[in-house]
């Protein structure tokens, strides 16, 4: 019989931040070093795994082309199974787990099965990806507030939040929206935003970041021309005019500067 105490089953839901590993939190470093098992997503930078202690299990549960994807029910079961068997499970999720990350959903499931839980925030890409190319989500004289919405529901349909956001005059940041870009542009144009400045940021905060700027109506064509892909965020509002010139595709940004000059 072992003289070592049975590890206490627990779950820590941990935000990996927007991509740049230097934007990871100090608490996150400590938590990864304490983990017995780490379940990590595709949007969590793999460089962060160097903080995991030797001997701890690392299990990829994200979605990548050519690899098996785990359903949410399977991930929930893995959390409980590994916590009961090994002790401390850390669920490493891109951005902030409480911003369209199902973080609290996983915690509730774990709590229902007797696990202790903790939440450690991460920097959300909704703010950081925009800021990394010079776009603030609020700016005096341009935007007195901002809203963050998801474009895609759990069933893959366009979220009703997009239409509600289109009625607003504040900055709108849309996550998981690239596959719905045509519909998003159509809806925002119907509500008088076709000529509103906008931007798409792919891989924000990373060296591979790409930026497309223009007016809402121009986004689909420009995104296609630039080869923009996921993960990316869409920003709609006057603050998009503040994007850094050196971060943008030159021909795209030139048009935006011309618009700003007469706006």
Q: Are strands 116-120 and 232-236 parallel, antiparallel or unpaired?
A: unpaired
Q: How many CB atoms lie within 10 A of CB 5?
A: 7
Distance CA 241, CA 231 (A): 22
* 41 tagged catalytic: yes
Distance CA 96, CA 121 (A): 6
First-to-final CA distance of the chain? 77
Q: How many CB atoms lie within 10 A of CB 72?
A: 13
* 107 tagged catalytic: no
3-state secondary structure of 253: helix
Catalytic-role residue among 20, 96, 107, 176? 176
3-state secondary structure of 88: strand
* 63 tagged catalytic: yes
Residue ranges of alpha helices (H) inside 132-218 are 160-166, 181-190
Taking the CA atoms of 205, 208, 214 and 220 in sequence, report the sign of the dihedral they define.
negative
Catalytic-role residue among 20, 36, 41, 96? 41
Element at 149 (helix H, strand E): strand 146-150
Kindly state the greatest CA–CA separation across the chain.
Answer: 79
Positions annotated as catalytic residues are: 41, 63, 176
């Amino acid at each position: 019989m072992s003289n070592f105490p049975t590890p206490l089953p627990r779950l820590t839901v941990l935000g990996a931040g927007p991509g740049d590993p230097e934007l990871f939190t100090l608490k996150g470093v400590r938590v990864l070093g304490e983990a017995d098992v780490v379940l990590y997503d595709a949007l969590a930078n793999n460089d962060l795994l160097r903080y995991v202690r030797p001997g701890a299990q690392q299990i990829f549960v994200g979605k990548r082309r050519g690899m098996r994807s785990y359903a949410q029910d399977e991930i929930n079961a893995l959390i409980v199974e590994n916590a009961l068997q090994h002790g401390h499970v850390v669920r490493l999720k891109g951005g902030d787990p409480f911003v369209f990350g199902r973080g609290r959903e996983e915690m509730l499931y774990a709590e229902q099965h007797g696990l202790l839980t903790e939440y450690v925030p991460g920097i959300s890409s909704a703010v950081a990806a925009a800021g990394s190319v010079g776009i603030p989500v609020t700016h005096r004289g341009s935007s007195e507030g901002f809203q963050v919405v998801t474009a895609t529901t759990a069933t893959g349909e366009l979220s009703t939040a997009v239409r509600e956001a289109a009625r607003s005059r504040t900055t709108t940041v849309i996550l998981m929206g690239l596959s719905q870009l045509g519909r998003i542009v159509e809806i925002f144009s119907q509500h008088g935003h076709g000529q509103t400045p906008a931007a798409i940021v792919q891989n924000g905060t990373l060296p591979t970041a790409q930026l497309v700027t223009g007016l809402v109506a121009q986004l689909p064509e420009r995104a296609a021309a630039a080869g923009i892909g996921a993960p990316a965020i869409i920003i709609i509002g006057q603050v998009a005019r503040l994007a850094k010139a050196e971060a943008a595709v030159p021909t795209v940004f030139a048009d935006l500067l011309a618009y700003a000059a007469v706006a």
